[in-house]
Structure 1
Amino acid sequence: MLVYILRRVLLGLSVLLAAIVATFCIFFLGPSDPAGALCGRQCTPDRIVQIEKDLGLNKPKTEQFVTYTKGLVAGNDLGGKKCDAPCLGWSYVQNRPVTDMVKQAFPVTVSIVIGGIVVYSTLGILFGMIAARFRGKPLDRVIVGVSQFVTSIPYFVLAQLFFLYAMVYYGLIPRAKYTSILDNPFTWFTGLLGIWLFYGTVLSANYVRYVRASMIDVQNQDYIRTARSKGLGERKIAISHALRAGIAPFLTLLGLAVAAELGGAIFTERIFGLQGMGNLALTSFDTSDLPVIAGVVVVGAVIIVSLNLLVDLLYGLVDPRVKLS
């Protein structure tokens, strides 16, 4: 088990290093004018040269890459501007550390995603199990049909309709508002409850059919027939035996989805007006603030690598057929 974990950690670190190299090459080796973006249209050539010197943009690209990677672990001093580790760079447009901007936006995205996970994992597993239990019957057809209908409509269309009619026109649900959970837990909960219910319900449709198919496959296994021959009830078999093995593929999909969402729930944040990672990335694209975009990409890579490792470890705990070695 320990050897497996160490091997996975080393593999994850190599993937992360490759992601950092690729991010630097894409965003910092291409044709761009960071100094001009920071200084503005009326900037003089002498001022641009000074800004490039202060930010180290006049140095060779290899030296810039070493400085960038060093900042991730030890921090940087960019022309007298202190950037504590992990330093993700300096925003050319807002003239502040990218790390501070990410720290401000990340809790918003985490709050959206965590609440959504609770809703869509619960609904996805529940209705997937029900559909598998009543396979081929009217209830199964209704659940599968509704899930197919929901997933056939683009998410941003549903989100826009929900925002306009449920929140703006009729006021059925209060408008989304983020408050730090440390400042006021109740306001944090009520301000995001509407998004959680919508976000979780829509995304659960993506997982119902996966859980259903996995549960149907597991129910045909020999150990399930053995459990039935021992006289165990169908409910106990479904929960204690079939679910543990059938939920493994769901964990893989969930881990990848959560990793992507933590990198920025772009449509949700933009439509509901929340300043999370997705909104930060889109705003940075609009202003060509390359260090911020690169910082969001690096944070997303760290999240994806970490959650992939976590999912691999959970496999051994959830599915008794899997042994990590």
Structure 2
Amino acid sequence: MKVAVIGGTGYGGVELIRLLAHHPHAELSAVLSHTQSGKDLVEVYPHLTGIVEQTVHALDVEQLAETHDLVFLATPSGVSKDILPQLVEKGIRCIDLAGDFRLKDPQLYPQWYHHEPASDAYLQKAVYGLSEIYREEIAQAQFIANPGCYPTAALLGLIPILKAGWIDPHTVIIDAKSGVSGAGRKQSLATHFSETNENLKVYKLGVHQHIPEIEQILSNVGQQEVKITFATHLVPMTRGIMCTMYVQLNEGKTTKEIIDLYHSFYERDAFVRIRPEGVWPATKEVYGSNYCDIGLAHDQRTGRLVIVSVIDNLVKGAAGQAIQNMNIMNNWDETTGLNVLPVYP
């Protein structure tokens, strides 16, 4: 199957290229970028020399429709909302890694993303691509709104216990930390080496664009409005996200009972791994892979549950989950092309 990547010169795009190079059923036959058009891909990323050597082209919707079956959009926020509908109308299936189709309420986009929304018809038609939770809907979808990196880690950690009704949904606190690659490749003072090295800083308190995305899914799962406290931190490492989450239990469950619940919930999900009692996941343990690792502990003294969820923000938080969704859409084994061991140390 011929696939293309729009925005193929960013970190999410080049991670798609890396993973697609090992996929037995998908051929990457076009890499598109407005800013790098006309360059050879190896000029932008020399590590691809002798492996993926293509010229980067500008987008031509008509030509793309004639030659490709599926397109990944790894563009900056606010770009794919105009491109994706043109592709879908030509019969191309699409997976959008930006946030342009994640929220159902169009009024939220100016506030949280600072741009106008996509058409309401497309927002309502979009299928949210959290692979383990919406597998059946993804299998029938024409286009996917791939989840954000923070929401992937947070939601996979929270949904089982919320769906079981074992927590007070009004007590969700998410303390999240991400490596610098989550900010993308574009240069900025916030990600300058001198600003991030040997430094830990909080950012976007109360205004992070992933807040309404997490709340939307938790509210749907919990069948009531859920509001969260969400604190994001930038840590001096390249990849990885750790979400440490705190919720109040409303039932007297032991840690073992909670771990058993998670094992049962994710029993058919190859990419979610639950740690045994007293063992906590680390970002290095999922580095470069599509795994989400989860650790759990019930603090008997406070009645709170602590959930630790880790992912690689560029893989399970972006490109890996997008390929997992492509596999589901095509009725392929969803681990196809993604059976790579985490890189350690």
Report the structure number with the largest CA radius of gyration: 1
Is TM more than 0.5 here? no
Q: Considering fraction of residues, name the structure with more strand.
A: 2
The structure in which a higher percent of residues are helix is: 1
- Please give the TM-score of this superposition, normalised by the length of structure 1: 0.28
The structure with higher relative contact order (CA 8 Å, sep 6+) is 1
